[in-house]
Each structure stands twice: as structure tokens, then as C-alpha cells.
Amino acid sequence: MSRIGKNPISVPAGVTITVESGNIVKVKGPKGELTQQIDPDLEIKIEDNELTVARPTDQKRHRAMHGLYRTLVYNMVVGVTEGFEKKLQVVGVGYRADAKGNQLTLALGFSHPVVMVMPDEVQVEAETVRGKDPIIVLKSLDKQLIGQIAAKIRKLRPPEPYKGKGIRFEGELIRRKAGKTAGK
């Protein structure tokens, strides 16, 4: 049995989970509502404020889907109760980040500023403190969406290994290389 898939998900107070035909799971909570389509072979049971995901057989495909969909539903429950947050750090001289509404404007050393429009589900903030690197804060209910947006922002200017300039996740370690003069 899948170690992750067999764990039940406790449903907190204020969260309602409904399973519709076609195995569509809807999770509604204080922060919003999320939906996810589940593999039709898997069975979802809700009993005594606990949700369990069961698989029909021990086929490799069913074992793989079991843990995956349990984790997706768990992330939905956490998203509608607490929400998710990702922080990105902009490192480099002259690199700036500015957020207005759902627009993020980045100055990353290109000839023009890069403007990204965020989806309605994602809130963006830019924290700029004098003497420190700017930090971009993304908040959302949907863990998949926030991760995808953060990856797109990071892809604009990934950190380079010599000086470490670029956009990185907060706490991410960049493997640094020695320059030409260190080799002599």
C-alpha cells in the first residue's frame, strides 16, 4: 500500500468536500473554492471528518495514482484553509521588482522592463528594503498555480553560478564556481 496514499486527510471545521459525478472533487473553505478531477479508478470516501482515497488493485498505475491524488486533495484542503506563499529573491546590481495590483514589473538588466500580469487567483507583493535584495511574495490558494508562476518568474533570469545574480527562491542554494583567476 502507498505510504502517502493510505493516510487519511482530516477535514477541518468550515471546510466542505463534495465528490461529483466523473470523480470531480470540490473543496470549499474560508479562503475560497478549488476543484480537481480525480482518476475514475480511484474511490474517495468521506467518513467522520476524514477523507480517504482507495485504489482498486495493486497495479503499478494504481499505486502511482493513489499517493498523487491523495496529496493533491490534501493540498486543496490546506489551500482553502491557510493558503500558500512563495518568496523569490532578486539578486543583482540594478535589479528591481515592483508590484501594482496584479502586475509585476521587473528590471533585470534587459533593455526594457519585464511586465507580468498575474492571474486573479494569485496576489503579488514586492518588498524593497534599502541595502537588501528585493523580494517578490506570491500568495494563492492553488499550490500548483503558484509554483508554476514562481517558476516562470525565475526562468526570466535564472541565477548564474559565478556572481549569483538572478532570481532565486528564498533559501535556494546556488552552487558557485570559481572564476578564471582562481585556476592559476
Per-residue pLDDT tens for 54-107?
999 989 999 889 999 999 999 999 999 999 999 999 999 999 999 999 999 999
Look up the CATH number of the domain holding residue 115: 3.90.930.12
Q: Which helix (H) or strand (E) holds 26?
A: strand 24-28
State residue 2's pLDDT score.
Answer: 58
Kindly state whether residues 70 and 129 are assigned to the same domain: no
Rounded Cα distance, 69 and 127, in Å: 35
Kindly state whether residues 30 and 94 are assigned to the same domain: no
Residues in CB range of 180: below 8 A, 6 or more apart: none
Kindly state whether residues 77 and 88 are assigned to the same domain: no
Range of the domain at 63: 9-81
Rounded Cα distance, 159 and 167, in Å: 6
Kindly state whether residues 43 and 102 are assigned to the same domain: no
Domain boundary pick from 81, 105, 125: 81
In a domain, 152, yes or no: yes
In a domain, 3, yes or no: no
Q: Which of 23, 54, 51, 21 is CA-nearest to residue 36?
A: 23
State residue 183's pLDDT score.
Answer: 58
Kindly state whether residues 110 and 142 are assigned to the same domain: yes
Collect the ranges in the chain with pLDDT lower than 70.
Answer: 1-2, 182-184
State residue 1's pLDDT score.
Answer: 45
How many domains does the structure of the chain reveal? 2
> Could you tell me if 134 and 97 are in contact, meaning their C-beta atoms sit under 8 angstroms apart?
yes
Kindly state whether residues 101 and 127 are assigned to the same domain: yes
In a domain, 57, yes or no: yes
Kindly state whether residues 135 and 92 are assigned to the same domain: yes
State residue 6's pLDDT score.
Answer: 87
Rounded Cα distance, 79 and 144, in Å: 10
Kindly state whether residues 68 and 113 are assigned to the same domain: no
Kindly state whether residues 14 and 38 are assigned to the same domain: yes
Kindly state whether residues 60 and 135 are assigned to the same domain: no
